Amino acid sequence: MYFQLRKFGIVRPHRLQRNFSNKQKAKLFTPQEVSLSFEEGVRLFVGFSLSSHPVFSKKSQELITHLQSFLYSYEKVKWTEPRNLHCTLKFFEQFPISKLHDLELICEEAASLVSPFNISFKAIDVFPSWKKPRVLYLCVDEGKEQVKKLAKTIHTKSELQNNFALLNAKNHKGQKRVSVRFEHTPHVTLARWSEMYVPSFANDVIKDFSNMLPHDFPDVEVTELTIFRSELFPTGPVYTSLKSFPLRVNQPV
């Protein structure tokens, strides 16, 4: 079980040094660290694609080409193909196929809470810091509150559903242990660095990034959210749309 947990990235290495009782696990493990189902799963994410917007696709390709020429001296940069540009709301590394219908219901409910909206982009930034960047991305400006609302709804409901057996677990003070933590920065990934080749940008290079996003970079209208399957190949990831859910605020009958 230890190696299976490690493979899926579910627990921290030091947490399974010995056997724990169910009561001890409820105290030690958070919901994000425990999976109650080890059936074979697939890589999924919920989000919305940006590749269907021709103006955005054209401008983003021009931006990526410009960034590639600027960062040509930095090794091991994996650039996002324009056809794969998207905004992720929730990622599942190993999602049980048997629970796909449950996820569809969650997405349908989330989509009913938000009307179609526009997103704009204000800057280029990195995760986690400019000194040790791993991800280069576009910051969402207008529309970020709607993106956060969708992401939080999907995250909260899916985490609680996948960890229902821990909902009544108590800590040593008799308080409920489970709480769904949520952090989300609305963004669109442009590139990633391999962990072994993380660059460290100088201050003058960081300043250059602030001027790289064109003033006429287009807004994008978001009208639906989608469940995508993500498959990894040597040539790059392939995203397949499984089901989409139109955004609409349900009107009272």
Q: Tell me the whole-structure pTM to 2 decimals.
A: 0.74
CA 204/CA 187 separation, integer angstroms: 24
Return the SS3 of 154: helix
Q: How far is CA 95 from CA 9, 39, 123, 205, in A?
A: 13, 9, 33, 40
What is the block-wise mean pLDDT of the chain (253 residues), using blocks of 10 residues? 42 39 44 40 93 91 89 78 94 89 95 96 88 89 96 90 48 50 88 74 72 89 96 91 90 53
pLDDT score for 8: 41
pLDDT score for 98: 87
Structure tokens, 214: 């064109």
For 150-154, the CB contacts below 8 A with 24+ separation are 150/89, 150/110, 150/111, 150/113, 150/114, 150/225, 151/89, 151/90, 151/182, 151/184, 151/186, 152/182, 152/184, 153/106, 153/109, 153/110, 153/113, 154/46, 154/89, 154/90, 154/106, 154/107, 154/110
pLDDT score for 97: 86
pLDDT score for 182: 72
Q: Which residues make Cβ contacts (< 8 Å) with residue 184, sequence separation at least 6?
A: 89, 147, 148, 151, 152, 155
pLDDT score for 38: 38
pLDDT score for 159: 82
pLDDT score for 230: 95
Tell me how long the chain is. 253
pLDDT score for 183: 82
pLDDT score for 228: 97
CA 200/CA 206 separation, integer angstroms: 10
CA 197/CA 194 separation, integer angstroms: 5
pLDDT score for 20: 42
